[in-house]
Amino acid sequence: MITNPVKLVSAVNNIDAELIINLLHNNNITCYKKSRGSGGYMNIYMGYSVYGEDIYVDKNDYEKAEQLLNEISEAQELIPEDRDNDNAPVPFFKNPRIIARILLITMLGGMLLTVLLNIIY
Angle at 28 between CA 79 and CA 7, to 5 degrees: 75
For 114, phi and psi rounded to 5 degrees? Answer: -65, -45
Residue 84 has pLDDT above 60, yes or no: no
81 φ/ψ angles, rounded to the nearest 5 degrees:
-85, 155
| pLDDT attached to residue 96 | 82
Q: Quick one: 5-77 is in which CATH superfamily?
A: Hypothetical protein rpa1041 (3.30.70.1530)
Does the structure show a pLDDT above 90 at 110?
Answer: yes
Q: What is the pTM of this model?
A: 0.59
Worst-scoring range by mean pLDDT, 2-6, 26-30, 76-80, 97-101? Answer: 76-80
Residue 51 to residue 65: CA distance in whole angstroms: 23
pLDDT in tens, 36-74: 877 666 677 677 777 788 999 999 999 999 999 998 887
